[in-house]
Amino acid sequence: MVVKRVLMAAACLLAAAGPSRAQVPVRTPVAKPKLLCDQVTTVADPKLEGGGVALSVRAEPPTFVAGASLQILQGSSVVATPWSGDLPSGAATPIVWDGRDALGKWLDTGSYTMRVQAAGVVTVELPLHLVRLGIREMEFQDSLGSNNEFPMVYFRKSGTYQFYATPAIHEYLNVQEAGELADLDMNNGDPRSVVPVHTATDMPVMEGANYDDDRYNYPLAYVQGSAPRVEVTFGSSACSKAGVAISPGYPVPGHEIRLQAWVASQVVASSAPIQPGGTALLDLVPLPSHLSRSEVEIEWKWQTRSGESAPWSDILGSTKTTHRFYTLLGEPNFKANPNGTQYAGPWVEVCEYMTTWAQALGLFPADAATLTQTHVQGFFGQTSGIPAALEGVKYDAGPLGGDSGSNRYFSSSTWRINLSSWLNNHAGGPFVNCSDNMGATTTMLSMLGVDNVRPMRLGGMTLKAIWGIGAPAYTTNLWGSGSHGFSYHHIVTDDNAQTVSDTCMQLDEDGTPGATPGIPGWNHRRPWLGIGGYRDLSAYNTVSYSLETLPGLY
Amino acid sequence: MRNSPLVSKALLGLALMAGRAAAQTAAEQQSSLAAEHFRQVRELYNQRAWASSQARAGFPWLEFAPSGWQGEAERTDGGLLTRHFKRLEPAQSPRSFWIELHVAQTSAKAQETLIGWLAGVSRPQALPSTSSWQLDVGDVGFVGPSGAGDKAIAWLGFVRGNIALRLVATDPTREPTLEIGGLAREFDQAIRSQRILADGEQAPTNQIELFSASKVDAIAGERIPLSLLFAPSMSAARHFDWTVGGTGQGYVEQDSSGRYVLHTTGPGKIELAVAVTGALGWTSTRSLEVLVSDD
């Protein structure tokens, strides 16, 4: 009898060892009904979302079996009895176990035996391997053969301004803090929750007064149309019932495990067999081919097989992480500081502004012209869907409460724009002048990947009607004293003055540009020369210009 | 991100910088039109006639606040120190004004800073002088009148010896009666109370005696303790500005013992610079390099 039971168990085990959830025929003694175990889980991580151990039990020939039970054994000790009940005649009984014992404690990773037994039938024993699967970090990389992924930058740290580039070695990190035992589990054994996207645009994730260094999920920046590549690193420790760090329980002898990435219910990538603490490189689906912000949910699923030629079968459950991708026009252009800083500036906030403006304007910027249009209309605001100028600023003129067109954010001596202060709810005040606008526009467009953006300095101007940023209407009396001109003006070009852009003011396109009221004419890549050009519509005099170098920022 | 996508640009930038002085001056950046504009501004404001008093040993920018006000340092950049001020009462008062301060080596350089502020004014007409507004501040100064109210001031810039100071009303429409003129007087008085530099006395701009890293080769993710030693003359009150440059990535924070630590977060060559501004507004800078390998 003992020998027969062992043979039956072995048969059940062999059947289960093929496709891990295949039907397992069980030979029974002639005189007794036999049990069939279908859809048997062999490798399981009950801590995954939707995870657990599943099997289906029925008697053959169809017979009512009273008082059956499922026991989990570690060696010869019963450590859990997740199910007991009757098996009805002619119908399979599905059993799902959540991996916990009678006290609700998670069972440790390791090898177990599942025993299904009842009086009058032969006991069935099946192998079970509890493992702990999870991702501790993700490093988003360039697509193969490209340079198209870039760290993003935050600009605030508590009450101060500090630039913080998102870590290149892992933009997603989810590991134990000091005092915690394992990277995949909390100290009570519960699974460590996934990290939501960090949605603040000014400050990175903080842990007290310092940057968080164990748990974050930062947004990502790619050139439009890129297919992100991600290197995931698998967790290497779990937490036991006894409250100590233990192995994740794999590799399982005779079994391989791999990771799959699913996006929108489609599998997009599968890894090679994985190891705890090891890595896998996966290529994801292409991002939009225009400036955008998108939230992509990736469902991470694991599969197992019992040999190289065996088919892969799903391990129950999954983990879902969401990632925020900004797509840029091209490689960002940062002005190096004296010691070579590249990753500087309130970049996340700029990306957020620009993508929000594009959405409000119904634009899909995929080239410099459309991106500049998005920037100019969004920055100036006071248009459909964008009621105010960037951070609520207004032109520095006496009639608006300011003074004489003074710069508050741009420094001509350091040749830098204090974009951080401006984007911190205009901390330097609501008034701006043309140099402030030039500094913000050149640096913001450059960050988004527009090339060759440069300041264009104009000489003195006797102005026609203009509508200043943040002003209620057109004016021919800018300073309120009958004076209506500039000692100089700063605008922007990306094609060496063939066309120009200006977020500081709008020109009048109603046919009488010297008189109010006016019809707004956006200055995004407006021709410099010619009828209707910037020089024609802005001033009565012949305005001279010279090109200058891209400012730095802080 | 494993690769450093901006390596080529960064190397190009470094090569270009190697041929330049570390700090880019305004003159280097100026276009011909800008140079002409600055010349016109000097003429418009008759700079040749500006008075110039003796150079001071500095200004206590981290400590000084006019009576009834408190300040918060923002940052330093290229020798310009910025500090915001709000009223002590009520406790939740918004920021009312901010200052830009340049403690220069010479009065001529301080005057150039004032010229820079004036050159940023778009209106063609000259701003009124402080003296024309019966404001006795500085050797020379000018007022940006605000349209927010009668005698309201949007900003006021002046030079006293080697110190240039600009006070800017954060929002004159919110506080049209803010006494920028009176505040400027208090700042000027504080400047005048500073010690006058002796003939030939050098400004203390090299007060970092040691700046080193515990290692100069690291694997991305490593934390590298930094050492900083200051000259005995360096004040205890200091403001730090860290810049992580080059192709590598990282940030600097103090650990629980107060020691500065470089956290490396991306491969490449980190060019780490620290600018330490002392209590009197003099900035000392040092830099070092750390080569960070991929993890």
Q: Where are the domains of chain A?
A: 2-130, 135-328, 347-553
Residue B26 contacts by C-beta under 8 Å, 6 or more apart in sequence?
A412, A413, A414, A415, B112, B116
Do A410 and B4 count as a contact with CB atoms less than 8 A apart? no
Stretch A390-419: mean pLDDT, rounded? 94
CATH number at B111 reads 3.40.1000
Stretch A142-168: mean pLDDT, rounded? 93
Beta pairing partners, A303 = A258, A314
Residue A416 reports pLDDT greater than 50: yes
**Mean pLDDT score of chain B:** 88
Q: pLDDT tier at B28 (50, 70, 90 boundaries)?
A: very low
Do A340 and B13 count as a contact with CB atoms less than 8 A apart? yes
Residue B72 in any domain: the answer is yes
Q: What proportion of chain A, given as a percentage, has pLDDT over 90?
A: 83
- What kind and span of H or E run contains A198? none
The count of other CB atoms within 10 Å of the CB of residue B229 is 11
Choosing among A488, A502, A542, which should be mutated to test the B contact, i.e. which has the most B CBs within 10 A?
A488
B146 touches chain A (CB under 8 A): yes
B77 touches chain A (CB under 8 A): yes
CA A202, A152, A350, B242 dihedral sign is positive
- Closest by alpha carbon to B163, among B237, B66, B82, B53? B53
Number of domains in chain B: 2
Residue B29 has what pLDDT? 56
Same domain for B152 and B220: no
Do B24 and A415 count as a contact with CB atoms less than 8 A apart? yes
Do A457 and B147 count as a contact with CB atoms less than 8 A apart? no
- Give the amino acid at B246: G
Same domain for B99 and B51: yes
Residue A343 reports pLDDT greater than 90: no
Closest chain B CA to residue A416: B77
Coil, helix or strand at residue A469: coil
Stretch A471-495: mean pLDDT, rounded? 95
Same domain for B215 and B153: no
- Closest by alpha carbon to A453, among A385, A375, A380? A375
Q: Out of A147, A338, A430, name the one closest to residue B5 (CB).
A: A147
Residues of chain A contacting residue B72, judged by C-beta atoms under 8 Å apart: 159
Q: What is the pLDDT of residues B45-86, one digit of tens each?
A: 999 999 999 999 999 999 999 999 999 877 777 788 999 999
Q: Out of A162, A164, A403, name the one closest to residue B145 (CB).
A: A403
The torsion angles phi and psi of B203, rounded to 5 degrees, stand at -70, 140
- By the 8 A CB rule, do A159 and A350 touch? no
Residues of chain A contacting residue B103, judged by C-beta atoms under 8 Å apart: none
Same domain for B119 and B211: no
Do B147 and A338 count as a contact with CB atoms less than 8 A apart? no
Do A341 and B251 count as a contact with CB atoms less than 8 A apart? no
Do A433 and B120 count as a contact with CB atoms less than 8 A apart? yes
User: Model-level pTM?
Assistant: 0.91
Q: pLDDT tier at A338 (50, 70, 90 boundaries)?
A: low
Q: pLDDT tier at A342 (50, 70, 90 boundaries)?
A: low
Higher pLDDT, A189 or B9: A189
Residue B188 in any domain: the answer is yes
Residue B220 in any domain: the answer is yes
B5 touches chain A (CB under 8 A): yes
Stretch A173-189: mean pLDDT, rounded? 96
Q: Out of A343, A429, A459, name the one closest to residue B33 (CB).
A: A459
Residue A337 reports pLDDT greater than 70: no
Give residue B101's Cα distance to chain centre.
6
Q: In this complex, how many residue pairs, one in chain A and one in chain B, have their CB atoms less than 8 Å apart?
A: 244
Same domain for B120 and B214: no
Stretch B194-216: mean pLDDT, rounded? 90
Residue B14 in any domain: the answer is no
Q: pLDDT tier at B18 (50, 70, 90 boundaries)?
A: very low
Residue B202 has what pLDDT? 79
Stretch A521-535: mean pLDDT, rounded? 96
Residue B4 in any domain: the answer is no
Least confident of A307-316, A351-360, B9-18, B239-248: B9-18
Same domain for B168 and B85: yes
Residue B6 in any domain: the answer is no
B18 touches chain A (CB under 8 A): no
Residue A296 reports pLDDT greater than 50: yes
Give residue A470's Cα distance to chain centre.
34
Residue A350 reports pLDDT greater than 90: yes
Do B168 and A408 count as a contact with CB atoms less than 8 A apart? yes
Of B192, B226, B254, which one is at a domain's C-terminal end?
B192
**Looking at CA atoms only, how far is residue B169 from chain A in angstroms?**
8
Distance between first and last Cα of chain A: 82
Q: What proportion of chain A, given as a percentage, has pLDDT over 70?
A: 93
Same domain for B256 and B233: yes
Residue A26 has what pLDDT? 53
Same domain for B47 and B187: yes
Residue A90 has what pLDDT? 83
**Looking at CA atoms only, how far is residue A91 from chain B in angstroms?**
53
Range of the domain at B93: 31-192
Residue B162 reports pLDDT greater than 60: yes
Closest chain A CA to residue B266: A168
Residues of chain B contacting residue A150, judged by C-beta atoms under 8 Å apart: 1, 5-6
Residue B205 has what pLDDT? 76
Q: What is the pLDDT of residues B34-45, one digit of tens each?
A: 999 999 999 999
Topology (CATH level 3) of domain A2-130: Immunoglobulin-like (2.60.40)
Q: What is the ipTM of this complex?
A: 0.91
Same domain for B70 and B212: no
Rounded Cα distance, B99 and B282, in Å? 16
Residue A4 has what pLDDT? 38
CATH number at B223 reads 2.60.40.10
Residue B88 in any domain: the answer is yes
- What kind and span of H or E run contains A442? helix A434-447
Rounded Cα distance, B142 and B50, in Å? 12
**Looking at CA atoms only, how far is residue B274 from chain A in angstroms?**
10
Same domain for B90 and B110: yes
